[in-house]
Chains A and B, each alone.
Chain A
Amino acid sequence: MATVIKPTTPGGPPAAKTYSAPTQFAPHPEGLIAGNHDLATLGDKIADVSIQVTPTPRAWWMFFLLGFTLLQGLVVGVGYLLYMGTGVWGINQPVAWGLAIVNFVWWIGIGHAGTLISAILLLMHQKWRTSLNRFAEAMTIFAVMCAGMFPLLHMGRPWLFYWLYPVPVNFGAWPQFRSPLCWDVFAVTTYFTVSLVFWYIGLVPDFAVLRDVARNRLQRTVYGMLSMGWRGSAIHWRRYEKLYLLLAGLGTPLVFSVHTIVSFDFAVSIVPLWHATIFPPFFVAGAIFAGFAMVIWLAVPLRQFYGMKDFITNKHMDLCAKVMLGTGLLVNYGYFCELWMSWYSHSIYEWDTTLQRIWYGPYAWAYWMLILTNGVIPQLLWVDKLRKNMVVLFFVALSVHIGMWFERYVIVITLSRDHLPSSWGRYAPTEWDYMLFAGTIGLFITLFSLFVRFVPMLSITEMRELLPTAQGGRDGHAVMENAK
């Protein structure tokens, strides 16, 4: 049994509870779990946050209040938008898409790393996914919620969104299924639903853990209901693992298809520099790049303020940084490919739009901002020492967030330079555009803060499996071997 120090003395400050197994174990061979844990201490450390034994760090309140404040911007922004119409945004002809689509693609790209970590790395037997998948999946769900809001609001009359679905209504018209915009609706809805059930299925055994360690009736009831009465039967586990594996197997092509379809929104048009076959792979690489930046952003405070360094070790941060660097190179290859193809194609429209984009157009600064933040700054991660420095890593991730936002901005703003100079125009977002963007950031921070506080932020079940056999675990994630 673990050493348990009773956490609080009435009136006094809460005593820090230590989580260490009574017997001393050898360090984890791959450096994936630090500290000295057995099944009980590992579960307690994660579960105690959800059942409110771990004192809530002051930083949590700061994050939550920041998010909640920004969230009010969303309320005001959406309220005014619905009252006035989309004219309050900076969109016009020819730039009819504007920030709404920039933010949509930015958010949905961030979401993709969650699926990548939980599904693709699972299929590839990467044990290090285990420490990251739960909060990365939460990130996916919240990011897709933020993303979905933009196209909905961009419709102008969002209450008619059901026209996008084949609902039998009396006007007798059907959606146009040959349009990428219609594909987008199905892709994003499916992505959100599947991510949600994948997340929930992973959570069911963890809710059962919380039910059994709950400190009061309310917790026991709520977590008990969420756990659906899970009791860890071997027969149930067998079905569970098979389902989990198959969901991962479906989730992997799903994530590729979703961002491919998002890129089709652009690539299927005939706008110069949009009409490119490089778009789908380039968009998917960009999504993973951005998503890992967000995983790093979320992991740093979890380590810092919730003391999760035992489970999200330096090794994990190093691996995330490497994936970010690798996908960043793919993205930069995409930038090169765009330039190369427009030159090599000998299309005057392609080449002139390229020159406008990178040299004499009004938004050339945005392109160079993109190259700086996405191309140059991430190269710092080649240096081993910098990858292990959390401050540097945090700022490189910030640079990637800015860069990926500018990437979509540069793409959307291409609308300002069409084939005909007579249809050229300019675009500037208004304060309502920015307020809505800030508002979705607020929504994301608020939801994520609440998630960290009330739901196990790391998968207790899978972390226990990851423990070496001597410590009570199964020495790694055995889903692949046992899923039958």
Chain B
Amino acid sequence: MTSTLDETPKVYGLLAEFGTADELVHATQSAAAKGFSRMDGYSPYPVGEVADALGFPRSEIGAIMFIGGLCGATFGFVMQYYLNGIDYPLNVGGKPMFSWPQFAPITWELLVLTASLSGVIGLFALCGLPQPNHPLFNVPQFARATRDRFFLCVEATDPQFDLTTTRDFLDTLKPLSVAEVPE
């Protein structure tokens, strides 16, 4: 293995720290206006305006759950009719084999079950979780992202990213601190 020790350490991005949610919203909007596209905001509770400013106005969860629920309900309904009506015809009180109203409760329960589970799996899959470690955790002050601080990270993959100029730009947003995030 060739040594890479003499090279400059790789950088994940630059992390600016803010004291309030409104400052983070403002900073994200300014950075977006400046043309940065590869960045993310971090906050102890959801701040919708940040996601809006990042250009993520709508999540995929609704569609995933709709499709999941539809599949579950269809499966549930067809399963009940097939098992009780075709594969092993069961005559209960002389009711018709296709007694669909009596299949409604289980169809509904399976709809809720599959929609919920597909939503949960969808959330974790889309967010790339579980991910126990992340470059951001290398920055000590980032521990306060779950406490009382708000962070904006401009990532090194951004085409406009440059350690010096981006840091200068972030400084104009009056952050509490700006830190380099090692990869």
Contacts and interface: CB of A to CB of B under 8 A. Distances in A.
Nearest to A481: B48
Interface residues of B, number: 69
Most A C-beta atoms less than 10 A away, residue of B54, B84, B116: B116
A176 B105 contact: no
A80 interface: no
Nearest to A166: B83
Interface in B139-159: 142-148
Contacts of A224: 132
Contacts of B56: 234-235, 238
B146 A232 contact: yes
B56 to A, nearest CB: 5
Interface in A463-483: 464-465, 469, 472-474, 478-479, 481-482
B121 to A, nearest CB: 10
A189 B117 CA distance: 13
A190 B115 CA distance: 11
B27 to A, nearest CB: 12
Nearest to B111: A250
Nearest to A175: B83
Contact of A238 (B28, B51, B122, B147): B51
B47 A187 contact: no
Contacts of B95: 178
B130 A186 contact: no
A484 B48 contact: yes
A40 interface: yes
Contact of A239 (B44, B80, B126): B126
A179 B92 CA distance: 9
**Chain A, interface size: which category?**
35 or more
Contact of A194 (B20, B59, B112, B147): B112
Contact of A174 (B51, B87, B142, B143): B87
A282 interface: no
A401 B40 CA distance: 50
A242 interface: yes
Main SS at interface, chain B: helix
Given A177-B83, A239-B61, A478 B48 contact: yes
B46 A478 contact: yes
B110 interface: yes
B47 A178 contact: no
Contact of B41 (A43, A209, A234): A234
Given A228-B131, A233-B42, A197 B109 contact: no
Given A231-B136, A242-B61, A176 B90 contact: yes
B173 to A, nearest CB: 16
A349 B170 CA distance: 81
Contact of A166 (B79, B99, B144, B145): B79
A183 interface: yes
Interface string A232-256: 1111111111110011001001100
A237 B20 contact: no
A229 interface: yes
A232 B109 contact: no
B129 interface: yes
A178 B102 contact: yes
B113 A234 contact: no
Nearest to B150: A232
A231 B133 contact: no
Contacts of A237: 43, 45-48, 50-51
B113 A193 contact: yes
A474 B129 contact: no
B35 interface: no
Contact of B109 (A186, A228, A229): A186
Contacts of A229: 129-134
A480 to B, nearest CB: 10
B163 interface: no
Contact of A209 (B54, B62, B69, B147): B147
Interface in A424-478: 461-462, 464-465, 469, 472-474, 478
Nearest to B115: A250
A173 interface: yes
B88 A172 contact: yes
A38 interface: yes
A316 B136 CA distance: 39
A233 B112 contact: no
A212 B123 contact: no
A205 interface: yes
A174 B84 contact: yes
A472 B99 contact: no
Interface in A120-174: 166, 172-174
A166 to B, nearest CB: 6
B103 interface: yes
A417 B94 CA distance: 28
Interface string B54-68: 101111111001000
A245 to B, nearest CB: 9
B46 A194 contact: no
B138 to A, nearest CB: 12
Interface of A: 38-40, 43, 166, 172-180, 182-183, 186-187, 189-190, 193-194, 197-198, 201, 205, 208-209, 211-213, 224-225, 228-243, 246-247, 250, 253-254, 257, 261, 264, 461-462, 464-465, 469, 472-474, 478-479, 481-482, 484
Which 6 residue pairs spanning A and B have beta carbons closest together?
A482-B48, A39-B148, A228-B130, A237-B46, A234-B41, A234-B50
Given A243-B120, A465-B46, 8 more contacts: A174-B84, A229-B131, A229-B133, A232-B42, A234-B51, A240-B123, A241-B46, A250-B69
18 contacts: A38-B148, A39-B147, A177-B80, A178-B84, A178-B95, A183-B106, A190-B112, A193-B116, A193-B117, A212-B143, A228-B131, A231-B137, A233-B42, A235-B127, A241-B46, A243-B123, A461-B45, A484-B51
